[in-house]
A and B are shown apart, each in its own frame.
Chain A
């Protein structure tokens, strides 16, 4: 069965610090990978996704993620965080095959708190 692990439950950073949030998945086939963000009081929004091509994916608000197939990883990075990046970040995966309905398997989420 597919599963997603996010190793950090809560990360606290100061503004301008660099961010890396870990995500590993377990699945034997081809996958699509997503990072969603949930700002306080708001709904889940897509930050970025990977489904094929360049394994380094750039998303909104200066975020990027790198798919490393050999490590089953899709870590999220940002070189310099801002207070407004305070949110919960969710890694998700779905199976990439014909007939797949795209049901997402989520990690448990990582809360990011950025101190001004």
Chain B
């Protein structure tokens, strides 16, 4: 069964550094999402992406964050200048092409980001 993959599984960085988290969505999917889960808290929506542009973003997704689909297979989340509070598990998800809200979102295994 096709899966969403994410790399790296764990990223440790210093405060103020830039990080790029990478995701490979399921190949025929057209909607892509980033979520994050701070330890002990809820999984929170960050951003959705369709047709090479952001569809919707939450208030968490400020100017420090950006997303890109650089080559038609990867989907990346960049944090320009990491803060301690960015430490979290970041999940990528993708869903298929029917553009309906009930479409199943398939999640990757997550990248644990630790900001020191």
Chain A contact residues, CB within 8 Å of chain B = 32, 34, 36, 42-46, 49, 51-52, 90, 92, 94-97, 100-109
Contacts and interface: CB of A to CB of B under 8 A. Distances in A.
Given A43-B109, A49-B104, A101-B31, A107 B42 contact: yes
A49 B102 contact: yes
A96 B101 contact: yes
25 contacts: A32-B101, A32-B102, A34-B104, A43-B4, A43-B107, A43-B108, A43-B109, A43-B110, A44-B91, A44-B107, A45-B107, A51-B101, A90-B43, A92-B43, A96-B101, A96-B102, A101-B31, A101-B55, A102-B31, A102-B48, A102-B95, A102-B105, A103-B48, A104-B35, A109-B43
Given A44-B107, A108-B41, A101 B48 contact: yes
Interface of B: 3-4, 31, 33, 35, 41-45, 48, 50, 55-56, 58, 91, 95, 100-110
A46 B32 CA distance: 16
